[in-house]
Amino acid sequence: MRLLFVGDIVGRAGRAIFLEHIQRLRATWRLDCVIVNGENAAGGFGITETICTELLAAGADCITLGNHAFDQREALVFIAREPRLVRPLNYPKGAPGNGAHMIQSASGARILIINLMGRVFMEALDDPFATAAREIATCPLGVGCDAFIIDFHAEASSEKQALAHFVDGRVSLVAGTHTHVPTADHQILPRGTAYITDVGMSGDYDSVIGMDKEEPIRRFMTKLPASRFEPAAGSATLCGIAVELDTTGLATKIAPIRIGGRLSQVCPEFWQITQEAATC
Ligand SMILES: [Fe+2]
Ligand SMILES: [Fe+2]
């Protein structure tokens, strides 16, 4: 089974690079499932229903969120009618929407996606470790689902690594999100879970984590807001992680993807079927 997980889409530039490439990548790499984090898709803050529909129509099977889930207030309402939009599972009881979604791939595979949020340097939600354990017990890999994917939206690398080792061998992939910078530690953990501390954003990297540089610099220096944060509008890099699973739902291959924009370009060599595809 072939999965592609795309990191936080930031603003118009991030949406544009996703919309430009996703259908071709899906077809060329014969992907079974595409998951994208959309918490910054609307002007850097949250997601609107129009954008959500656009990303799903373009080729995402599921959109995950994070601390910006409800920055666009309309998400509080439309998330209830869009099960493919998933907010952190460890929100307090009564939060709108769902923290998990099961999709069925074209080949019939049951793929469970959950979104969890960390608690270090972030709002203290419910314990993500206990929440993960509960979800794994409810829907074990190989019994309740054929693939189990966690978007762990967290600030601290230590918390992300700890959670990944905690679930190693029990889920297919732990994809870290939220810091908006890709890490180089993608690997298959000892018991078979694919892992990366952070997938990186899909946005303009000539920025401060996706935002125009001037206002963040000013705020660090003056501690005063002078204007709104605006997403940087230069060409974006699509950042993702490509993962292949075996029939047990554990990972056999993992590689980063970076397409477009300023970052060095990389695609998974193990899916380069033709010379044409090798250009990403
Ligand atoms: Fe983000
Ligand atoms: Fe975030």
Please list all protein residues whose beta carbon sits less than 5 angstroms from ligand 2, which is an ion.
66-67, 178
Q: Which ligand is nearest to the CA of 202?
A: 1
Distance 12 CA to ligand 1 centre (A): 14
In contact, 162 and 138? CB cutoff 8 Å: no
What percentage of the chain exceeds 70 in pLDDT? 97
pLDDT band at 138 (very low <50, low <70, confident <90, very high): very high
pLDDT at res. 272? 77
Tell me, yes or no, if 68 is annotated catalytic: yes
Q: How far is the CA of 107 from the centre of ligand 1 (A)?
A: 31
| Statement: residue 47 has pLDDT above 70 | yes
**Residue of 258, 279, 278, 255 whose CA lies nearest to 268:** 255
pLDDT at 205: 98
DSSP 89: T
For the cut 80, the answer to whether the pLDDT of residue 61 exceeds it is: yes
121 CA distance to ligand 1 middle (Å): 14
What is the average per-residue pLDDT within 125-134? 98
pLDDT in tens, 226-261: 999 999 999 999 999 999 999 999 999 999 999 999
The partner residues of 270 in beta bridges, in order of sequence, read none
- Ligand 1 mean position, distance from CA 275 (Å): 34
**pLDDT above 90 coverage of the chain, percent:** 97
- Indicate the pLDDT class of residue 275, thresholds 50, 70 and 90: low
Ligand nearest to the CA of 36: 1
**Residues 148-170: what's their mean pLDDT?**
99
Q: How far is the CA of 275 from the centre of ligand 2 (A)?
A: 37
Distance from residue 45's CA to the centre of ligand 2 (Å): 9
> How far away, in angstroms, is 231 Cα from ligand 2 center?
14
The arithmetic mean of pLDDT across residues 3-28, rounded, is: 98
Q: Which of 21, 68, 101, 178 is catalytic?
A: 68
pLDDT tens digits along 176-233: 999 999 999 999 999 999 999 999 999 999 999 999 999 999 999 999 999 999 999 9
**Ligand showing the shortest atom-to-Cα distance for residue 180:** 1
Q: Which residues of 194-229 are buried (b: 16+ CB within 10 A; e: fewer)?
A: bbbbbbbbbbbbebbbbbbeebeeeeeeeeeeeeeb
Taking a 5 Å cut-off on Cβ, the residues next to ion ligand 1 are 8, 39-40
- Ligand nearest to the CA of residue 69, numbered in listed order: 2
